[in-house]
Amino acid sequence: MTLPAVEPAHDASFDPASGERTGAVAHSTGAEVGHILDSANRAAPALAALSPAIRQAWIAAAADAVLAVADELVGLARAETGLGVARLEGELNRMAASARFYAGVACEGSYLGASRDDLDGGSTLVRWNIPVGVVAVFGASNFPFGFGIFGHDVASALAAGCPVVVKAHPAHPRLSVRLGQIVRDALLNAGAPEGTFDVVVGFDSGLQLVDSPVVRAVAFTGSQQAGLALVERGARRGIPVFAEMGTVNPVFVTPAAAADRDSIAQGFVDSFTLGAGQFCTKPGLILVPAGHGFAASIAEAVSRVPAAPLLTAGIAAAFARGIGELNPHAAAASAPVKTEAHPVAGYEVSPRTIAVDLAQLTPGSRLLEECFGPVALVVEYDDPAAALAALDRLQPSLAASVFTGGDADTDADLAVAQLTRRVGRVAVNTWPTGVATSWSQQHGGPWPATSRPEATSVGGGGLARFVRPVSLQNATSIQLPLMLQPQNPWKLPRRLNGRLVPFE
């Protein structure tokens, strides 16, 4: 008897605007994942031995290849995310620019931490950072380019000299596979060894990556539930999992800033509804001085924002559950928030705010947990000291904002000092949603916003996640790493007997 063929498992592709299925991508088999990991493992020594300048040329070629088919990629992303064309075009261009930035950070060389000391008795000691090896990356649903197949985690790991295997996100599988193909081919054509970069598809494929002894580090951007599961799984092998998960990002408006009420209210609404509220840096709670009409101004601004689709059916369902859980906490003075029959059109939802009392911000409250999507809490306070105390009861977060009345605003000074102990980035008189790719950027935060508070997933410090230090004592000139040989062929900065010596 002939058995019917079994359809392979797949990630289905859906249009968030309509909810209709538009295609599917088959999951990678265990054998396919194993072959990809073997190739990556073989490529690791070659990548580590090459100068950052060579890797920079590869990454630049991949960035050029992506930009050359920008219209195709934006079209795929639009069909699978429901995000606007202008937003996606900007994100794709920033992705290419960020990749070049990380390659430039590697070429600058300080991430290697190269140093040499001549010790008493004629002994020598050198220390530098080496690539950890193969890195597995789990991209995000909400940034298909910026934190996806060729986003921050991938580009910084490649720049640091690590082969990368990316697990495609099920929210945009067709885009993931196509973008992965373009990047892989461009790297190979530029001279990168086979195994430098590849993509796998499917939940089980992701677990296979984390469990493989070949993989030495994992980078993840997404929900707290998934991030914690990966952290626990990685801990079984003792490998670092750099999970950026996010919590409720607070905003504190001082009484002295009340004169700018309307602009602050509009800016808050623009920020928490940007991308349908699906940014990890979304301000989810604003503390405003009572008696200045902030709540009314915010409500008016929200009423002008149209409904927009969320990324997936799962995110839309979680948003509906979150609104249902937050509604009972609404302050008596505020009108109950209506929940929508879902879906209205695809995964479309309307933005809303919920007014709550300051005293309700207590440890363990649902109010202190993130609700992914276009919703935010509005809290009025009478006493700035009480509001500042409430900030200490919130979960640590990725970012926070403080709005001041000028330079002589003691409440703002106290808030900034307090928040720097609890968040990764404090934005003064601006909103936290924009994240610049720069040397001074910190995109991370204390637990539970991230699993590794010392790390950043954006900015020049991002390469530090994918290297580890090693020392050699009494090494011969042949045994020394190239950046610490006397002629310094890579032309990188070094610290010699305690003195930083930039290459000239």
Residues with a known catalytic role = 244, 280
* Contact predicate 502/156, CB 8 Å: no
In sequence order, the β-bridge partners of residue 25 are 11
Q: Per residue in 67-97, is it b (16+ CB within 10 Å) or e — as a string?
A: eeeeeebbebbbbbbbbeeeebbebbebbbe
* Contact predicate 223/256, CB 8 Å: no
Distances (CA, A) of 128 to 116, 281, 410, 454: 9, 34, 44, 19
Lookup result for tokens 């289905």: 12
* Contact predicate 415/388, CB 8 Å: yes
Distances (CA, A) of 94 to 438, 460, 490: 12, 15, 28
- CA atoms within a 13 Å half-sphere pointing along the CA-CB vector of 487: 4
AA letter at 439 = W
3-state SS class at 311: coil
CA proximity to 245, closest of 451, 456, 442: 451
Query: d(Cα 390, Cα 86) in Å, to the nearest integer?
Result: 38
Query: d(Cα 361, Cα 386) in Å, to the nearest integer?
Result: 11
Judged by phi (left if over 0) then psi (alpha if -120 to 50, else beta), residue 313 lies in alpha
Give the DSSP H or E segment for 115: strand 115-118
Helices (H), 381-465: 384-391, 410-419
Which tokens sit at 83? 């995000």
